[in-house]
Amino acid sequence: MKNERLVWIDFLKFLAVFGVIGIHVSSAALDVNPLFSANWYQSVFFESIFRFAIILFIMASGYLLLRKQQPIEVIPKRVKRILLPFVFWLIVYAIIKIIFRQGLGSNWQILDLFKYFITGFLDPTLISVQFWYVYMILGLYVLSPILSRWIQNAPIKEIEYMLLVWVIFSIFQFLNIDSILLDYFRYFTGAIGYFVLGYYLAIKEKHILKNKQFGLILFIIGTLITFVGTIILSAITNQQSLFFIRLGDITPGACLQAIGLYIIVFNTDFDRIDNKFKKWIINISKTSYGIYLVNVLVVNLLEKVHIINLTGFAFFDIIIGIVLVTAVSYIIIMIMDKIEILRPFSGNS
């Protein structure tokens, strides 16, 4: 019998992929607007409000994989489901970069092409920036049998101890504190904490974690930390500061946003939501991985045809861009899913 879908997880994945597209579209706007202009402030706001995106993906995966013990036998299948679409799109991005952006220069040879692809597989961010996520989530998937066995048998205080250590050393990492102690505690920083946190927030019986208003407050505080922090640091240095807007979203603002949204979504009664809307959310959720892989290509295409900065007003351009990129990315993945030969590479789950 097919497992019943968890609509709240689908909604988290929908918000996550929507946020990823929001980050990429607003980044495009941020890059073209002068420092401290009205459009720059609007771009910073959108960059700030979507920082939760990757963290929600990790937390949703954490809940799904840690709520029951994961047999080692399922890992190859999961790795294949992640790697096949990734390899396909990595090659597509690389070919486009070579043809249209002269990624290998003008006088490249076959050996240069071979080295380019090998280097791209070793560090896929050289091909496209969003690909860092793939290797990160693969690492968590590979560790999931060990983590799930531990967490299913661990008392709640042990999980809280792990998360406390993670918070402390993540703060050290965020502040760029140079200490040899931190070198030995890097295992307790970054994505693994969000992975465990996704499970912990769902099982912890605490009244405040059932309060959607508390979640909203956390989201607002997290957004303000990033937005105000970026403006202040940019004003101090007289140049654009991305200290609070980092790759990987290890920043405190992004963390508070994601926790806030998680609390809101987890405590929402989806039985009271229109079935057509839920079906639409589920469809986006199913294609979220494919959309994640393809969306930067779509953003770049829309930039080339001057659709991303269509009106000259960042607020409207970013909203229009998000809607268009989401729609085009979804259509691409659905077309691939309809073509049998391309279905394994669509990322549709």
pLDDT score, position 33: 87
Give the residue among 259, 133, 141 at the shortest CA–CA distance from 200: 259
The residue with greater pLDDT, 163 or 105, is: 163
Task: Tell me if 32 is assigned to some domain.
Answer: yes
Task: Classify residue 1: in a domain, yes or no.
Answer: no
Distance (Å, whole) CA 168 – CA 183: 14
- Give me the domain span that covers residue 167: 7-345
Amino acid at 242: L
Provide the pLDDT for residue 291.
97
CA 16/CA 64 separation, integer angstroms: 15
CB contact at 8 A, 135 and 59: no
Residue pointed to by tokens 């405040």 = 208
Residue with more model confidence, 310 or 253: 253
Residue 267 lies in a domain: yes
Predicted local distance difference test score (pLDDT) of residue 1: 39
State residue 248's pLDDT score: 58
CB 16 within 8 A of CB 60: yes
**197-227 per-position pLDDT tens digit:** 999 999 999 999 999 999 999 999 999 999 9
Q: Which residues are within 8 A (CB) of 242 and not within 5 positions of it... i.e. 6 or more apart?
A: 230
DSSP readout, 2-23?
Answer: PPPP-HHHHHHHHHHHHHHHHH
- pLDDT for 13 equals 97
The sign of the CA dihedral 210, 57, 259, 183 is positive
Name the CA dihedral angle for 221, 258, 334, 129, rounded to a multiple of 10 degrees.
90
Is pLDDT at 60 greater than 90 in this prediction? yes
CA dihedral sign of residues 47, 263, 190, 172: positive
Res 90 pLDDT > 90: yes
Structural contact between residues 291 and 322, judged by C-beta atoms closer than 8 angstroms: no
Phi, psi (degrees; rounded to nearest 5) at 247:
-65, 130
pLDDT-derived band at 249 (thresholds 50, 70, 90) equals low
Better pLDDT: 184 or 13: 13
pLDDT of 196 = 96
> Which has the higher per-residue pLDDT, 179 or 15?
15
> What is the model's pTM?
0.93
Asked whether residue 221 is domain-assigned, the answer is: yes
Give the residue with greater pLDDT, 176 vs 290: 290
The answer to whether 30 and 227 are in contact (CB under 8 A) is no
23-35 confidence digits (pLDDT tens) = 999 998 888 889 9
The pLDDT of residue 112:
81
Enumerate residues 6+ apart whose C-beta is below 8 A from 268. Answer: 8, 11, 212
Work out the number of other CB atoms within 10 angstroms of the CB of residue 99: 10
Let me know the angle formed at the C-alpha of 78 by 197 and 299, rounded to the nearest 5 degrees. Answer: 75
Read off the pLDDT band of 247 (50, 70, 90): low
Q: Lowest-confidence range among 64-78, 86-100, 158-172, 240-254?
A: 240-254
Q: Does residue 33 contact residue 314 with C-beta atoms inside 8 Å?
A: yes
Band (103; pLDDT cuts 50, 70, 90) = low
Residue 33: inside a domain, yes or no?
yes
Q: How many domains does the chain have?
A: 1
Quick one: pLDDT at residue 70?
86
Q: What percent of the chain has pLDDT over 70?
A: 97
214 in a structural domain: yes
pLDDT above 90: residue 146 = yes
Report long-range pairs for 69-73 (Cβ below 8 Å, ≥24 apart).
69/145, 69/148, 69/149, 69/152, 70/144, 70/145, 70/148, 70/149, 71/145, 72/145
Q: Model confidence over 278-323: pLDDT tens digits? A: 999 999 999 999 999 999 999 999 988 888 777 889 999 999 999 9
| pLDDT score of 2 more than 60 | no
- How high is the pLDDT of residue 303? 87
Q: Tens digit of pLDDT for each residue in 258-279?
A: 999 999 999 999 988 899 999 9
Single-letter amino acid code for the residue at 312 = G
